[in-house]
A and B are shown apart, each in its own frame.
Chain A
């Protein structure tokens, strides 16, 4: 167990729908990162939050949004889902200093 908890582990939904993925970072970690992993694109950085504030954006679609709550858990919201959004979504956390990311086990999203 890495200490980063992601729920749900699996999600199957239809095109056009909206889903919310949840991440609880490792205890004490203030930064949360979201990544998408697909077979053709590999791991792609989506967005970073630090202590409740958005810090950096990567290749995140406008249909996607995220937030980090006062208890430091984070949610990634995916809307108007398309078949191409099917992927593994990972959350990672760090303490703020460079000690490397700790990744969760991911949420496997399947859009049908």
Chain B
């Protein structure tokens, strides 16, 4: 079993829909959780990060962490075609990612105009 599991998709939704992206993990030491967005042929871009369990909202994006279930989610409201990209979850046991981040393989999201 991989440390971080993420459905590769593709996930195709119409413009304006609410998108739900998820990751599960097995390492209970993970405390820092991140979501990155990666456009084709570009480096990942940090969208959200949270510490421990709970919710965090930033504009159209909401990140949720449920450590008891080892499950994290990213919600995108009012999705736009420009949101079409690969979304990567990432996790770390230490602050600052000093031991490196463990990434999911990414979910390819397509927003249909």
Contact = CB atoms under 8 A, between A and B. Distances in A.
A33 to B, nearest CB: 7
A107 to B, nearest CB: 11
B45 interface: yes
Contacts, number: 58
Given A2-B43, A104-B43, A43 B98 contact: no
Give the interface size class of chain B. 20 to 34
A45 B102 contact: yes
Interface stretch (A14-22, A69-77, A93-101): A93-101
Contacts of A31: 96
Nearest to B90: A43
Interface in B85-113: 88, 90, 95-106
B75 interface: no
Interface size grouping (class) on chain A:
20 to 34
Interface of A is mostly: strand
A110 to B, nearest CB: 14
A51 B46 CA distance: 23
Given A90-B43, A100-B34, A106-B43, A45 B96 contact: no
B50 to A, nearest CB: 11
Contact of B99 (A56, A94, A96, A106): A56
Nearest to B51: A98
Given A98-B32, A98-B96, A103 B43 contact: yes
Given A55-B98, A102-B46, A103-B43, A42 B103 contact: yes
Nearest to A46: B100
Most buried by B among A2, A43, A55: A43
Given A90-B44, A100-B34, A100-B46, A33 B97 contact: yes
A105 B42 contact: yes
Contacts of B61: none
Smallest CB-CB A-B distances: 9 pairs = A45-B100, A103-B43, A42-B105, A100-B46, A43-B103, A98-B96, A58-B100, A98-B95, A103-B44
Given A43-B103, A48-B98, A94-B96, 5 more contacts: A43-B90, A43-B101, A94-B97, A100-B49, A103-B44
